[in-house]
Amino acid sequence: MTLRGFSFSSVEAAIKKPGRKDLALIYSEVPATAAAVFTTSSVKAAPVLVSREHIVSGIAQALVVNSGNANACTGEPGMIVAQDTTRLVALALGVETSAVQVCSTGVIGIQMPMERIQSAIPHLVEGLSTGTLADVADAIMTTDTFSKMETCSGQAGGVGYTVSGIAKGAGMIMPNMATMLSFIITDAAIEQNFLQQTFRQAVDASFNAITVDGDTSTNDTCLIMANGMAGNPTIVEGSSEGNAFAAILNTVLLSLAKQIVKDGEGATKFVEIRVTGAQNYSDAKLAALAIANSSLVKTAFFGQDANWGRIFAAVGYSGAEVDQTRLSLCFDDVCMARNGIFAGDDAEARGTAVLKQKEFTVSVDLGIGIGAATVYTSDLTHEYININADYRS
Amino acid sequence: MTLRGFSFSSVEAAIKKPGRKDLALIYSEVPATAAAVFTTSSVKAAPVLVSREHIVSGIAQALVVNSGNANACTGEPGMIVAQDTTRLVALALGVETSAVQVCSTGVIGIQMPMERIQSAIPHLVEGLSTGTLADVADAIMTTDTFSKMETCSGQAGGVGYTVSGIAKGAGMIMPNMATMLSFIITDAAIEQNFLQQTFRQAVDASFNAITVDGDTSTNDTCLIMANGMAGNPTIVEGSSEGNAFAAILNTVLLSLAKQIVKDGEGATKFVEIRVTGAQNYSDAKLAALAIANSSLVKTAFFGQDANWGRIFAAVGYSGAEVDQTRLSLCFDDVCMARNGIFAGDDAEARGTAVLKQKEFTVSVDLGIGIGAATVYTSDLTHEYININADYRS
């Protein structure tokens, strides 16, 4: 599978410290139809503010991204850095400044070393002839232990196209919005409004359904660029090809989201939390997130302790409508509790066996309606504390 | 200071396992004016449901409490245990069943060993001649590493009275409501409505202002009994003696609440989070709680990392109205950030020195209004995970 018309580059700009590539570029030969979803936090990093302004055009042709410094809580000087970065990249590439997106991830509250970025940009543009998307995926890692990529292909009007995505994130993962950074590129031609709408839906079902520690970042950005160089007839809403594209997009995003959870800082477990029988969808999501964000529940997962009572306790304070006499809970296919009470001693041993697996599903039936929601999370471990206690040093 | 008319007892009922006193009794010679605040969780333990019904009378003469088993998620059998326990204690003491409060703390989802409780009750009542309030404080501990007590004295109409309180709680601590169990007794005579109202206010400013891990228990109960045996003229609302009593109550509850935070599971730090300049009180509390509940912030406290950016990030997603260009932050008297940006390198070293202390204050000024709120929290440590990963074993 090839992605026509895209090229990639990464260089070492020594933004935090030397020794790794920390500045990367994605470039499309032609202006691409683009859409983006940004952090909902009231404290937004400078690059988020700049990119949000640029995306209004619906067009992007380049993305410049760095790790090592978030350029958040940096005030007016930080804004100037983000603006200058897009301007310099636009100049070097010969594209519109408003067609350049900029993203940053790393430490909050420290000014960006602009002179180092400025001197790295020419090398970054030269490198476009030889780089790969995997190079970009590597360059945006911070506490990630592996880089995240996914690719799927589709067809429209007899013409094949490819959708590829990369993501970065391991902690500070929380719905609305989840991954710190994710970039999706496709050579398909997609109608602008349809792209925006289908992308937002796919983000909701993937990055907004994962949670590692309940924190939301100042820098979260999810961007898609569709440059149309596959040559397919433009994909529009309501067509079978539109539905197929939406399905492919969901697959790519959900795969990236699950990779982020699996790389949850210090995680040893991957847990799917499925809540059914809620009064409505929003109650189901409230309950699922309360379970997924409970430190007590997540620590029990780490301890492989089939402590279903803590899960009911989390459902109880979630804010969802609950009748405690109708709650049921299973670990995979082992029913631990029915109608609010323990299912019996045999369940204890079998439930514990499920929790010893690296991946399992917690199903909670609230028993009062048809609302359902699924979220993905990890356990809370010693390693999480190690990573975050000395992240800045 | 003596508490006239109260007696205490504790015995070993081997509810979870033998080897410690786990069943306790507080008894007042005469029916006491009483008020209680219970967990807001939709999943309520059986003893909470029973006590909530009994407190409607406004009278309590005895409290029976056990550790080792929460009697939560135990269905109808659990309800029968809680009801039978109050009935048997009432019978042995010769008081009304509705004047007996019952509380439980411990593992969720396991049926109570009623036969052991039943055979322990006679010994419990016999022991009233020799027990102390400290014995009760010891018997209600679960993961607590020390028992929590506080006593203050006051005067009304020239007659001295005493207010004593005990509390139990170290994890599952979260506002609305915070401590798992706290019992306050006084020999003062207090008017019923005033007692209820002043008690609720004191709970809001103390137990509802602390948070260790953001989880809320199924069993939280805070109870006050005022038996009037000091012989003072009844204290009523609006009087100077009423104000003095309210102040004493606040002191006792805040002291107990702070003791709980200091005993936060695995905690090595005690942190006061003070938010000012918010649009209103509720925004201030939202922001303070977002900081206090952030795993990333709490892990940075543990790592003694002056990572003020994470605190701004938490304020950003708290839901409070925020203008990121007006945020300021201090660790004790060291200003780390002003108008949203870093205050300079000198601050880094001085801020880190503050975080090396066992106790410090984080002050965040949102800079847009006059709303203020204070909450108390601890850090997130390896020991928290050790305690909670194998709590049930």
Mutation target vs B (from A305, A385, A391; most B CBs, 10 A cutoff): A385
Helix (H, G, I), strand (E, B) or coil at A244: helix
Structural domain includes residue A1: no
The top-scoring range by mean pLDDT among A32-46, A100-114, B75-89 is B75-89
Which residue in B33, B74, B105, B179 is the catalytic one? B179
Mean pLDDT in residue range B113-129: 96
Q: Which among B219, B236, B262 is the end of a domain?
A: B262
Q: A332 and A381 in one domain?
A: yes
Provide the pLDDT confidence category of residue A300 given band limits of 50, 70 and 90: confident
Provide the pLDDT confidence category of residue B98 given band limits of 50, 70 and 90: very high
Pick from A325-339, B47-61, B305-319: least confident: B305-319
- Residue A34: the pLDDT is 98
Q: What is the CATH number of the domain that holds B62?
A: 3.60.70.12
For residue B343, the distance in angstroms to the closest alpha carbon of chain A comes to: 10
Q: B63, B185 in Cβ contact below 8 A? A: no
Residue from A46, A52, A8 nearest A27 by CA: A8
Q: A55, A35 in Cβ contact below 8 A? A: yes
Q: A100, A54 in Cβ contact below 8 A? A: yes
Question: Residue A262 has which token pair?
Answer: 């699996």
Q: A15, B297 in Cβ contact below 8 A? A: no
Pick from A68-77, B21-30, B42-51, B172-181: least confident: B172-181
- Residue A176: the pLDDT is 36
Contact A390 B305 (CB under 8 A): yes
Provide the pLDDT confidence category of residue B1 given band limits of 50, 70 and 90: low
For residue B161, the distance in angstroms to the closest alpha carbon of chain A comes to: 38
Residue B246 CA: distances (Å) to CA of A52, B167, B190, B280: 52, 19, 11, 24
Search chain B and give the residue with CA nearest A304: B389
Q: A317 and A237 in one domain?
A: no
Which residue in A85, A162, A179, A216 is the catalytic one? A179
Residue A170's identity, in one-letter code, is A
For residue B307, the distance in angstroms to the closest alpha carbon of chain A comes to: 8
Mean pLDDT in residue range B279-290: 93
Mean pLDDT in residue range B84-97: 98
Q: B237 and B364 in one domain?
A: no
Pick from A207-211, B278-282, B292-296: least confident: A207-211
Q: What is the mean pLDDT of chain B?
A: 90
- Residue A291: the pLDDT is 93
Provide the pLDDT confidence category of residue A204 given band limits of 50, 70 and 90: confident
- Residue A217: the pLDDT is 74
Q: Which among A213, A230, A262 is the end of a domain?
A: A262
Question: Residue B40 has which token pair?
Answer: 């807001």
- Report whether pLDDT(B177) > 50: no
- Report whether pLDDT(A296) > 90: no
List the single residue in B171, B324, B382 with the smallest CB-CB distance to A42.
B324
Q: A236 and A124 in one domain?
A: yes
List the single residue in A296, A305, A327 with the smallest CB-CB distance to B215.
A296
Which residues of A are less than 8 Å from B171 in CB distance?
Answer: 296
Residue from A214, A366, A222 nearest A297 by CA: A214
Which residues of B are less than 8 Å from A218 in CB distance?
Answer: 309, 312-313, 316
- Residue A215: the pLDDT is 60
- Report whether pLDDT(B3) > 80: yes
Domain count, chain A: 2
For residue B141, the distance in angstroms to the closest alpha carbon of chain A comes to: 18
- Residue B391: the pLDDT is 52
Query: At a CB cut-off of 8 Å and minimum separation 6, what does B165 contact?
Result: B149, B150, B151, B182, B183, B184, B185, B252, B253, B255, B256
Q: Which among B262, B288, B307 is the end of a domain?
A: B262
Q: B361 and B223 in one domain?
A: no
| Range(s) of the domain holding residue A114 | 6-262
Containing A353, the helix (H) or strand (E) segment is helix A345-355
Contact B303 A388 (CB under 8 A): yes
Provide the pLDDT confidence category of residue A179 given band limits of 50, 70 and 90: very low
Pick from A228-232, A275-279, B205-209: least confident: B205-209
Q: B302 and B215 in one domain?
A: no
Provide the pLDDT confidence category of residue B268 given band limits of 50, 70 and 90: confident
φ, ψ at B33 (rounded to 5°): -65, 135
Q: How far apart are CA B256 and CA A358, in angstroms?
A: 41
Structural domain includes residue B1: no
Which residues of A are less than 8 Å from B218 in CB distance?
Answer: 309, 312-313, 316
Q: A104 and A249 in one domain?
A: yes
- Residue A173: the pLDDT is 44
Q: How many CB pairs under 8 A join A and B?
A: 219
Q: A244 and A149 in one domain?
A: yes
Q: How far apart are CA B42 and CA A323, in angstroms?
A: 7
pTM score > 0.90 for this model? no
**Complex ipTM:** 0.74
Residue B162 CA: distances (Å) to CA of A292, B225, B357: 45, 12, 34
- Residue B389: the pLDDT is 63
Residue from B187, B203, B182, B184 nearest B154 by CA: B187
The count of other CB atoms within 10 Å of the CB of residue B115 is 9
Q: A139, A99 in Cβ contact below 8 A? A: no
Query: At a CB cut-off of 8 Å and minimum separation 6, what does B115 contact?
Result: none
Q: How far apart are CA A28 and CA B339, in angstroms?
A: 38
Per the annotation, the verdict on A179 as an active-site residue is yes
Contact B75 A172 (CB under 8 A): no
Q: Which residue has the higher pLDDT, B344 or B113?
A: B113
Provide the pLDDT confidence category of residue A175 given band limits of 50, 70 and 90: very low
Q: A304 and A257 in one domain?
A: no
- Report whether pLDDT(B100) > 90: yes
Structural domain includes residue B60: yes
- Residue A266: the pLDDT is 74
Contact A317 B293 (CB under 8 A): no
- Residue A143: the pLDDT is 78
